[in-house]
Structure 1
Amino acid sequence: MIIGVPREIKDQESRVGVTPAGVKALSEAGHKVLVETNAGAQSGFPDAEYQDAGAEIVGDAGHVWGKSEIVVKVKEPIESEYVYFREGLTLFTYLHLAPLPVLTQKLLDAKVIGIAYETVRDRNNTLPLLTPMSEVAGRMSVQVGASYLEKEKGGRGILLGGVPGVPPAHVTVIGGGVVGTNAARIALGFGAKVTLVDLNLNRLREIDDIFNGRVYTLASNSYNLAQATHEADLVIGGVLIPGATAPKIVTREMVSRMKKGAVIVDVAIDQGGCVETARPTSHSNPSYTVDGVVHYCVTNMPGAVPHTSTLGLTNATFPYLQRLANLGPKEALKQDAGLAEGLNTYLGKLTYRGVAESLQKEWTPYATAVA
């Protein structure tokens, strides 16, 4: 099997889909790995390490895409990469198709087999390939929020942890999943007052146990959300519906009633965002202000810490990639029901219900599509 690892070209995306360690394992299994020049450089993996591991270094992205049977990336392809799509190509990466109708249609038109990291499931029915980057993004959201609370970045001029005699900032975390739990952990470490909002009462009980009552928990409803955002200096959005568009549970009216200079970090933005006033931004232009509230909505937050992120991501993704290479995509999907959950497009058919409902398109269950 020929596996291609192109260099990421999304704005300031510095991660890479396979490390030299992964290349070595694939090469030892008899596969050929094509790595675009400098694909891993910003993650701390120079071309020489890939060569030593058995990769062929290729200077042209088109060659990597064109000669590979499986292309492994980190982020969804951008417009300039659409020309590389072709029938039967397997693309293994984060896709986040729900808010991206054009990319979805391009994958369908080209009959690409698109397997999305974010919808793969394991035996515990969790999302093993989304978890590591959610951990990074959840932890980053607090340090980013703390930075944007500084006056020079438009914030209220508040130190997240306060000082003796001066109260700390109030952080409201929306969603008690992996993002929310990690955000709460780091915010507590900064010394902030933390409130976490979630729909699931059992999850709130778990949060209460995890943090020994140090995190204030609130059941999610419009009244509680309005109160929690109004009191917050920093709001972190971590709402997730796997594969589907995130619900806009923080309304424009709620944002307008927040403190001037408060900060919103919407980690759910790669699925459309859970804040009504949120829109995708990039590392080059990461923030904007609405009603005096600073919004940070970068869609690839973990790309700012590529060494940590690449290692965390590939630790999780590589076993699945190895399975795809050793068995071939079709057989691997048949044998692994959790991997099959990651299938979003298959030879012209949309195969993930959440994406289809978000885009108002017809969908075909995986088993039917493959048969």
Structure 2
Amino acid sequence: MYKGNPSGPIWFSVGEASGDLHGAELMKAFRALAPDVSFTGMGGPAMEQEGLTTRHSMREISLVGITEILGGLPRILKLLGTIKNELAAIRPRAIVLVDCPEFNFRIARMAKKLGIPVYYYISPQVWAWRSGRATFLREFVRKVICILPFEQDFYAGYGMDVAYVGHPLMDVLPLDRLDEMPVRDNRIGLLPGSRTKEVSALLPVFADAARQLAGAHPDLEYVLVRAPGLDESLLRSLWPEDIPVSFVSPDERYETFRSCRFIMAASGTVTLETALIGTPVLVAYKVSPLSELIARMLVNVQYISLPNLILGREIYPEFIGKKASAENLARTARTWLDDATAYDEIKNGLKVLRTMVGDPGAPGRAAQIILDDLKVAAGPTG
């Protein structure tokens, strides 16, 4: 039975930078359809700019890897207790979860007990590992809204109420303008991640790779795009002073991505952003040895980066765990610098990928689906 407040705010639960971006776009779409709607919960700076009344910063749950999550468990459990009390007091009209299943599944469970409808936008990648979690979603989430083309069939196979709306990046990226921008052949981008742990693990590796490339390519220049909320002083402390690098704010990231010949990046949503923009990427990721071991036993997909999953082949080379070494990154980078045919093959593959992620308008379609379903949820039959 519906026990939310039909005139109350929509509660968002977002735990990372990419979710903050997509949450902000969904908020814009909600307001276009229902100008009186208000928002509260957990999010980041992009959502705050769109009017989110932030009760908790997404940085409170910004953790990486299984063992790292366990280490922060007491703090997270305390946070969940606080949120449970807030939900009971506020009675939001609905809860929108954005990715972060380890945290948001617990929000979904408490929301159902309170009779508040839950919608999952940017559905968790349960198709990648621990697929049985789809049965949890079927029980505790009213509707799953998918943004990747292969997700709809996966969730439908579990008997779920699922809708595919296309990828919201098609609304965020100014592709027409970016396509007109030139690429600087000697510029290499650096995207070491949005969390302190992943940046500390990857940026020194990227720096070592840059040092190895300097001998044959002394004219290379490096540009590092700082993730939202990340302290630039941390980035500077991890990059050697003898290798020139410029730092760019998150507001200039898309133009910077386009200007690079290629990028060394942490795995994440940013790999799809760069792919749609058309810039090749070397994908790297490091977690603790235990997290890597557990993940290898549980993961049931061949790739971790979204461009590879969508295309069904490795267009972006992946260097995970022990393979994320400076030597491996530099080796592939030399190929892209010295072999025009190999480089052009990647660029052409990215053009194909852009046709496979749906038309613009995903946030608007998602907002309409949620608002229409809330009318059903709050109706006489509940």
TM-score in terms of structure 2 length: 0.38
